[in-house]
Amino acid sequence: MKSSTRQVDGVTIVDLSGRITLGEGSVVLRETVRDLLSKGQKKILLNLGDVNYIDSSGIGELVSAFTTAKNQGGELKLLNLTKKVHDLLQITKLYTVFDVKDDEAAGVKSFSK
Amino acid sequence: MSADRVSYTLDSTLETVNNAEETASRMAAEAGFDDEEIMKISMAVREAAINAVLHGNAYDPSKKVTLAFERTARDLVIVIRDQGKGLDASRIPDPLAPDNLLKTSGRGIFLIRSFMDVVEIHPSHTGTELRMIKHVHGNPADSKEAPQ
């Protein structure tokens, strides 16, 4: 999995691509989010538009990222879910737990100032 | 009707998890499932392989995972076995319970059950056998040979 970050109006957008799975993307996601939080970048928008596969380990890593950010006074939201990821979050009942956006500009604006 | 069977003996490694997923995807495609069903089958097998490698065999290099596929006219039957202590599925918390929604693990068996038509878990002191079935809807091999 590949990960890159960019700043838009005080929000860190993390563009992820590839698979978030055990032994692959899970570690990348974990380290990326931890690194951002340690640098005080606590408004995080995970762009999953190019994430084409996620397994239970990846789901667990998304949950961990969400709770870690929240516990540190931050906010982590999801952007541009693919159908596969959307369906997985639906059947695991996590779709209502995460704040999911489908428009980047609206997603950025949704963070508290 | 004769059945097509193939089985593999695999090490307790992450590579096995990826190989199991890829093999399942190929077998499901050959059985005539559509893309969405192929994804569900391959993901169920990936989750079963994760359970076998991580939770069953605990990456022990002396322990193996066996993965078997059997295709019949009506079903794709997949059996995966480990050599661990035996999985007591009744002790796995419901991942959809409100108190468990934010747990970072414990969704594998739930996903397998969501994606497959039949799932049986047979634990013993010599390991766990997980048997899962996906029903074949239609038979593309037969339809190819049907007169036009």
Mutation for B interface: A54, A55, A93, most B CBs within 10 A: A55
Checking if the pLDDT of A89 tops 80, the result is yes
Number of helices followed by number of strands (H, E) in chain B = 4, 5
User: Residue B3 has what pLDDT?
Assistant: 54
Residue of A nearest to B53 (CA): A22
What's the gap in Å between the CA of B138 and the closest CA on chain A? 24
Of B42, B65, B40, B62, residue with least CA distance to B52: B65
Task: Report how far residue B100's alpha carbon sits from residue B96's, in angstroms, rounded to the nearest whole number.
Answer: 6
Task: Report how far residue A46's alpha carbon sits from residue A92's, in angstroms, rounded to the nearest whole number.
Answer: 19
Q: Where is pLDDT greater, at A90 or A24?
A: A90
CB A13 within 8 A of CB A45: yes
Tell me whether residues A91 and B114 touch, CB distance under 8 A: yes
Residue of B nearest to A62 (CA): B104
Give the ipTM of the model, two decimals please: 0.90
Nearest CB neighbour to B101, from listed A21, A84, A94: A94
Tell me whether residues B107 and A66 touch, CB distance under 8 A: no
Structural domains in chain B, CATH included, are 4-145 (3.30.565.10)
Structural domains in chain A, CATH included, are 2-108 (3.30.750.24)
Please measure the distance between the N-terminal and C-terminal CA atoms of chain A and give it in whole angstroms. Answer: 31
pLDDT per residue as tens digits for the range B109-139:
999 999 999 999 999 999 999 999 999 975 5
In this prediction the pTM is 0.90
DSSP 8-state assignment for residue A109 = H
